[in-house]
Amino acid sequence: MGLAATGSEAPEGTLAERALEVLGRVFGYDAFRGLQAGVVEQVAAGGDALVLMPTGAGKSLCYQVPALLREGVGVVVSPLIALMQDQVDALRELGVRAAFLNSTLDARQAREVERQVAAGELDLLYVAPERLVTERCLALLERARIALFAIDEAHCVSQWGHDFRPEYLQLAILHERFPRVPRIALTATADAQTREEIVERLALRDARRFVSSFDRPNIRYRIVEKTEPRRQLLEFVEGAHAGEAGIVYCASRAKVEETAEWLAAHGVPALPYHAGMDAATRAANQARFLREDGLVMVATIAFGMGIDKPDVRFVAHLDMPRSVEGYYQETGRAGRDGLPAEAWMAYGLADVVQQRRFIEQSEGDEAHKRVSTAKLDAMLGLAETIECRRVRLLAYFGEASTACGNCDNCLEPPEPWDATEAARKLLSCIWRIRESTGFGFGSQHVIAVLRGQDGPKIRQYGHEKLSTFGIGADLGEAEWRAVLRQLIAQGLVVVDHARHQVLALAPESRALLRGERSLRMRRPRPAARAARRGRGAKGKATSGTGAAGLERERGSAAGGDTSLDPAAEALFERLRAWRRTVASERQLPPYVIFHDATLREIALARPGSLDALAAVSGVGQRKLEAWGQAIIDLIAAPGS
Ligand code: ADP
Ligand code: ZN
C-alpha cells in the first residue's frame, strides 16, 4: 500500500475531502489552484478529461492526485524520456511509489519494473509512448490494476505542430483495450485546431473539457527593436537577471553556439543545446541546467518541452518564433513557481524577411502555406502592437482581458505614429527606382535614396535625379527600417529572395498609395535609447489582467512583492546553500528538495517547530520527516 488511501482502507469523507487530504499530506499544498479540483474529481470518479492549462499552472497534480486516490497504478504517457528519471525521483522524494519504463533501462531493470507493476507495488508509472503500445506492455497492463491513463503533452498528436510524434497516433488503442479506465489528456497548447485534433485522434469525444485561463500574470512581456542583439541580450541579462537561470532561444544551431560562447566570454555562465549536438553532451548540459543554480541555456526550440524547472527567471528570444503558440509555449517556461519572471524578445526587419522566406521556400502545399502565413501574421501583430501585449496574447487564445500593467507597452506606452505619409513615400520610392532602372534594389539602397544620401552607387544608376531622392530626409534610418518592416509584415511590400532581397510592391499596396488605407504604428525609439534598461522583473508588484469571466489561476505569489528584508535574505541564502549540499549528495536537482518559493516562505516565517514548518506551502509529510529538523536547527543556529 502506498501513501494514498486506497480501496481496501475504507475511504472516509467525500472525494473532494480526500483529494485535499492527499494534496496536503503528500505535496504539502493547502488548496487546489484554479481548475485542478474539478479535474481531480472528474478523473478520480472515473471520468475522462481533456485539460488545457498553460505551463506552470499545475497539470501534473491533475493526474497525480487521482492516481493516488484510485486503486491501482496511474500510467503516464510522456514523450520526454530524458526527464522521466527526474520526475520519478521527485515523486519518490514525496514518498510516492513511482517508476518508469523506457529505453534507458536495461533488460533486467525493465523486468523489475514490470514485476512491480504486476504485483501492484506502484502508484505511478511513466511510460514512453512507443513502449506503451507494444503488445508486451499492453499485456502487462491487462494483468495489472490501472488507476488511470494520463496522456501528457497531448498536442504531440497534432501533425501541424512542431512536436508531432507519430507514436501518439496509436494511443487511441488505450480506449479500445481498457474501456473502463479513465483517461486524462493534458497540454499547454491552446489553439482550437490542436484541441480538436486531440479529441479526434485520442477518441476523447466524451471527455469533460477543462480549459483554464491562459494568463501567466507573473510573466512580464517585453519586445524590443533589434539593433545589436547580443549586446542587448547581455544588457538585459546583466541588468535584470544577473545570477539567475534563464533560457535564450535562437533559430539556428550555429547561432546557439556563437551566442553561448559569447555570453560565457562576457561572464554569463551559459551552455548550448541543440539537436545537432551529440546526445551525451546535450544530456549533460540539460542536467547541469536543472541541477545548478543560475545557468543560462542557449538553445533551439529542441530544448524545453517538459522542462519543469520552476525557477527559470527569464526566457529571451533572439529570433522571432513562427507562431504565437510557439512563442507562448517557449516564454511559458519562465516563472513556473509563480514568482516574477520575464519574457524578452529582440525583433527586427530581418526576422520578418526571414520568416516570410521560410514559408515561401517551404515544401508544404498551398493549404500549409496559408496556415503558416496566418500564424506568422498573428506573431507579427503581437510584435508590432502598440497596445497591451497580454491582451493580444490572450485574445489569440480566445480570452478577453484588459490592459495588464505588466508588459512593456503598459509600463512605457509607445508613442503612436501615423506613418501613412512616410509609407507612401517609401512605396513610391521603390516604384520609381524599379521604373527608372528596370530592376529592384534592396532595403539599404532604397532608404539611402529616400534620405538623399549621395554616393557612388546612387550616381552609378542616376538615382540622385529621381523625384523621390531625398523626400525622406526628415526621418532617420531606424524609422525607415521600421516603416519598411511594417509594410513587409503587412504584405504590402514583398522581398525577392531569389534575387538579392530586392524589394517590390505587392498589389495590395495600391490602396495605401491611393489614400484608401492608413498605417499606424509605434514610433521607433532611436537605438541609443533602446539600451536604457534594467529594473526588469524584479521591480514591484505585478497587477493582474482581470481576464474577464475566467478564473485567475495564480495565487498571491504572482502579484506579491518578493523582496526580502536583509535578515530574511540572509536566511534564504543559507537555506539555499543547505539545499545545494543536500541536492548534490543525493544527485537531485535542488528544486526537488524544496522550491525557492518554499524556502522564501520559510525565511520569512522562521518557523520554530515542526508543526509551524508543516504549515509552509510545499512542505509535505515526507519532506517534513526527512528535513524538518535540519531546517529548524538551521533557523535556530547562531547567525540566522
Ligand atoms: P505544468 O505541468 O502545468 O506546467 P506543473 O505541474 O509542473 O505545471 O506545476 C507547476 C508548479 O506549480 C509546480 O512547481 C507545482 O509544484 C506547483 N503547484 C501545482 N499545483 C499547486 C497547488 N495547488 N498549490 C501550490 N503549488 C502548486
Ligand atoms: Zn500589458
Q: What are the pLDDT digits (tens) for 206-249? A: 999 999 999 999 999 999 999 899 999 999 999 999 999 999 99
pLDDT band of residue 382 (cuts 50, 70, 90) is very high
Q: Which of 336, 553, 556, 598 to mutate to test the pocket of ligand 1 (most atoms within 8 A of CB)?
A: 336
Average pLDDT, whole number, for the chain? 89
- Give the ligand with the smallest distance to the CA of 403: 2
Round to whole Å and give the CA distance between 386 and 412: 10
Q: What share of the chain is helix, strand, coil (3-state, %, to 5)?
A: 45, 10, 40
Residue 33 CA: nearest ligand 1 atom is 23
Secondary structure class of 418 (helix, strand, coil) = strand
Q: Per-residue pLDDT for 481 more than 70?
A: yes
Bigger pLDDT: 272 or 397? 272
How confident is the model at residue 2, as a pLDDT? 47
Ligand 1 center from residue 559 Cα (angstroms) = 17
> What pLDDT score was predicted for residue 526?
61
The x, y and z cell numbers of residue 327, run together, are 512563442
Query: String of b and e for 126-135 (b: at least 16 CB within 10 Å)?
Result: bbbbbbbbee
Q: Which long-range contacts (CB under 8 A, 24 or more apart) does 291-294 make?
A: 291/583, 291/584, 291/588, 291/589, 291/590, 293/243, 293/245, 293/576, 293/580, 293/590, 294/243, 294/244, 294/245, 294/269
Q: What is the pLDDT of residue 5?
A: 44
Residue 404, pLDDT above cutoff 90: yes
Q: What is the mean pLDDT of residues 392-412?
A: 94
Measured in angstroms, how far is the CA atom of residue 55 from the centroid of ligand 1? 9
Task: Delimit the CATH 3.40.50.300 region(s) of the chain.
Answer: 2-211, 219-415
Give, as one character, the DSSP assignment of residue 24.
Answer: I
Q: Which residues surround ligand 2, an ion (CB under 5 A)?
A: 388, 390, 404, 407, 410
Residue 32, helix vs strand vs coil: coil
Amino acid 116: pLDDT:
97
Q: Give 501 or 636, the one with higher predicted confidence.
A: 636
Alpha carbon of 156 to ligand 2 centroid (Å): 31
Q: How far is the CA of 79 from the centre of ligand 1 (A)?
A: 19
Q: Is 224 in contact with 232 (CB distance < 8 Å)?
A: yes
Cα–Cα distance for residue pair 332/188, rounded to 1 Å: 9
Q: Closest Cα to residue 124, out of 172, 88, 175? A: 88
Q: Whose CA is nearest to atom 17 of ligand 1?
A: 58
What pLDDT shows up at residue 416? 87
How much distance in Å is there from the Cα of 154 to the middle of ligand 2? 30
Residue 229, pLDDT score: 95
Confidence at residue 498, expressed as pLDDT on a 0 to 100 scale = 76
Q: Return the CATH fold of 566-636.
A: DNA polymerase; domain 1 (1.10.150)
CB 100 within 8 A of CB 125: yes
- CA of 152, closest atom in ligand 1: 2
User: Residue 533: what are its φ and ψ, rounded to 5°?
Assistant: -145, -160
Residue 531 has pLDDT above 50, yes or no: no
**Contact residues of ligand 1, CB 6 A cut-off:** 29, 32-33, 36, 53, 55-61, 308, 310, 336-337, 595, 617
Task: Among 61, 305, 333, name the best residue to mutate to test ligand 1's pocket (greatest count of ligand atoms within 8 A of Cβ).
Answer: 61
Residue 169: helix, strand or coil by DSSP? helix
Q: How would residue 359 be classed by pLDDT, with cut points 50, 70 and 90?
A: confident
- According to DSSP H, which parts of 120-191 are helical? 129-132, 135-143, 173-177
Q: Which ligand 1 atom is the nearest neighbour of the CA of 310?
A: 14
pLDDT tens by residue, 309-340: 999 999 999 999 999 988 998 999 999 988 99
Please give the pLDDT value at position 562: 60
Give the per-residue pLDDT at 546.
34
Domain 219-415 fold is Rossmann fold (3.40.50)
pTM for the whole structure = 0.82
Task: Say yes or no to pLDDT of 342 above 90.
Answer: yes
The Cα–Cα gap between 499 and 375 comes to 26
Interaxial angle between packed helices 324-331 and 389-396, expressed in degrees from 0 to 180 and rounded to the nearest 10: 110
Over residues 450-461, the mean pLDDT reads 93
- Looking at residue 11, its pLDDT comes to 62
Name which residue sits closest to atom 21 of ligand 1, judged by CA: 58
Q: pLDDT at residue 530 above 80?
A: no
Q: Give the DSSP H or E segment for 158.
A: none
Maximum distance among all alpha carbons in the chain? 93
The CA-to-CA distance between both ends of the chain, in Å, stands at 41
Q: Which residue has its alpha carbon closest to ligand 1 atom 26?
A: 29
C-alpha of residue 548 to centroid of ligand 1, in Å: 23
Of 171-175, 394-398, 435-439, 529-533, the least confident = 529-533
Taking residues 489-511, what's their average pLDDT?
87
- The answer to which of 436-445, 492-501, 570-579 has the lowest mean pLDDT is 492-501
Q: Which of 21, 27, 600 to mutate to test the pocket of ligand 1 (most atoms within 8 A of CB)?
A: 27
Ligand with minimal distance to 78 CA: 1
Average pLDDT over residues 93-104: 96
Q: Which residue has the higher pLDDT, 360 or 231?
A: 231
Look at residue 632 in the predicted model and tell me its pLDDT. 96
- H/E stretch holding 51: strand 49-52
Nearest to 390 by CA among 54, 58, 59: 54
- What was the pLDDT predicted at 1? 41
* Number of the ligand 1 atom closest to the C-alpha atom of 27: 16
Cα 543 to ligand 2 centre (Å):
10
Residue ranges, CATH 1.10.150.80, the chain: 566-636
Q: Which residues contact residue 141 at a Cβ distance below 8 angstroms, ignoring those fewer than 6 apart? A: 75, 117, 178
Q: In the 8-state DSSP scheme, what is residue 561?
A: -
pLDDT bracket for residue 190 (50, 70, 90)? low
More reliable by pLDDT, 8 or 432: 432
Compute the distance from residue 277 Cα to the ligand 1 centre, in Å.
31
Protein residue closest via CA to atom 25 of ligand 1? 29
Q: How far is C-alpha 96 from the chain's CA centre?
A: 28
Question: Closest ligand 1 atom to the C-alpha of 23?
Answer: 23
Residues 6+ apart with CB under 8 A from 6: 69, 70, 71
For the ranges 65-69, 82-86, 172-176, 569-573, the one whose mean pLDDT is highest: 65-69
Q: Minimum-distance ligand to the CA of 37?
A: 1
Task: Give the pLDDT mean for 51-65.
Answer: 93
Q: 572: which 3 cell numbers?
A: 534564504
Cα 239 to ligand 2 centroid, rounded to whole Å: 21
Cα–Cα distance, 269 to 328 (Å, whole number): 25
Report the separation in Å between the CA atom of 155 and the middle of ligand 2, taken as the mean of its atom positions.
28
| Residue whose CB lies within 8 A of the most ligand 1 atoms, among 64, 308, 593, 601, for a mutation test | 308
Residue 552 scores a pLDDT above 60: no
Q: CATH for 417-522?
A: 1.10.10.10
Ranges in the chain annotated CATH 1.10.10.10: 417-522
Angle ∠(50,127,298) on CA atoms, nearest 5: 85
Please give the helix or strand (H or E) that residue 344 lies within, else none: strand 341-347
- Going from the Cα of 227 to the center of ligand 2, the distance in angstroms, rounded, reads 23
Percent of the chain residues past pLDDT 90, beyond the cut: 71
What CATH number has the domain spanning 2-211? Answer: 3.40.50.300
189-193, 286-290, 514-518, 548-552 — which is least confidently predicted? Answer: 548-552
